[in-house]
Every structure is written in C-alpha cells, then in structure tokens.
Amino acid sequence: MIYLTKSEYVYQSLKDEIIEGKLPPGSRLVVADITKKYNVSAMPVREAITKLEKHGRVATMDLHKLKEITILRNEIEPLVAKLATPYIDEPLIKELEKLIEQMEEAAEKEDCSAYEKLNHEFHQKIYDQNPYEYIKELNNELWDMSSISRFALSHTPRRLKESLEEHKMWLQAIKDKDPEEVARVVRLHKSNAFEELKTLIKGF
C-alpha cells in the first residue's frame, strides 16, 4: 500500500481533475474551496497548489511555457520510442494490440477519460523498454510536467479518432522493426496533439 500525505493526496486529486478536463487551463484554485472539498487544512492545499504551479498545471501555465515543454517532448519522445523499438518482443506487441482494441472502443464511445488512461498505458509500456535510464527519467518528468496537455483529449472527441490512427501507425512501425518510422510517427503524434491544444486554449 502506498501512503500519501495530505498534500500529496490533494495534489494527485487536483492533477486528475486537470487531466480529465474538470479543471480547464487557467482555472483559479481557491484554497478555502479545496480545503472544504477534501476536508483538509489550508497548509497541504497550499503545498499542493505550489507544486501544481511549479509543474505548470494551473493558471501560471501559459502557451509559451507549454510550447517549450512540447518542443522538448517532440524531441525526447521520438528518441525514447526509437530506442525502445528493438527491445519490444511479441508478447508486448500482443499487449499493445489489446490496448489498441480498447482505445478503439473508448473512441467510439467518445469516452475521453478512458481513452487517456489507455493512451498513457500504451506509451508507458513502450517507453519502459528504453534501456537508457536517464533518458527514461527525463522523458517521464516531461510527461508529468505537461499533464495539462491531455486536456485536449477531454474536450475534443474528434481528436480521439486521429490519435487512434496515429497509434495504429506507431504499432505497425514497431511490427516492421523500423525505429526511424517509429520516431517519425511519434513526432507527428506529438505535433498534432499540441496544435489541438493551442486551438483549445485560445478558446478559453
């Protein structure tokens, strides 16, 4: 069992709300409201908000900072996926195929929350095969810092179908044992997601 402090609990809860689209970009977090909602004192709430701000998940996340993070992700994630490709075996490919099937079901139902969780699992299963620990750690940190970018999926069901096709292309490149094509597809995938997010943020 993993024990969470009150601060960690509030942080994780607020982060989940952002990822699920319940707290859109630019949301103002009121300490009094959060203490009442989670039945905690003000101190852990302030600590959680400070951590969210540090990682760019609330109002302080502007498009310029998000763009910088995205530029890094557009370089790091294709590299991680490329490095992981030679280490992906048939059992893992079967797991990825199953995830694709589940993602397709979620996309058909326009269940953005379910799709995002499956999407994260798909990425993580692949990235975990990368044998370079520091690169893996850096990639995970960037992913965590840009949780708000998944807001795009929660507000644009149309994007789910596009994302699904990109994941299918990615899996095919893995099956073809083509690391360069894997990197190309992942770069396209990240670029398309960021363009969608830019459109959404301008609408708020």
Same domain, 46 and 96: no
Specify whether 173 is located in the same domain as 72.
yes
pLDDT tens per residue, range 15-66: 777 766 677 655 678 888 899 999 999 998 899 888 877 655 554 455 677 7
200: confidence class by pLDDT, cuts 50, 70, 90: low
49 and 68 both lie in a single domain: no
Q: Is the pTM of this model over 0.85?
A: no
In a domain, 1, yes or no: no
Same domain, residue pair 124 and 155: yes
The pLDDT of residue 196 is 76
**3-state DSSP helix/strand/coil % of the chain, to nearest 5:** 80, 0, 20
pLDDT at 154: 57
88 and 161, same domain (yes or no): yes
Are 33 and 85 within one domain?
no
The string over 46-72, giving b where at least 16 C-beta atoms fall within 10 Å of a residue's C-beta and e elsewhere, is bbbbebbeebbbbeebeeeebeebbeb
Q: What is the pLDDT of residue 204?
A: 44
Range of the domain at 48: 6-54
Question: Tens of pLDDT along 101-151?
Answer: 999 999 999 888 788 889 989 999 999 999 999 999 999 888 877 765 665
Examine residue 36 and state whether it is found in any structural domain, yes or no.
Answer: yes
177-200 mean pLDDT: 88
If one counts the domains in the chain, the total is 2
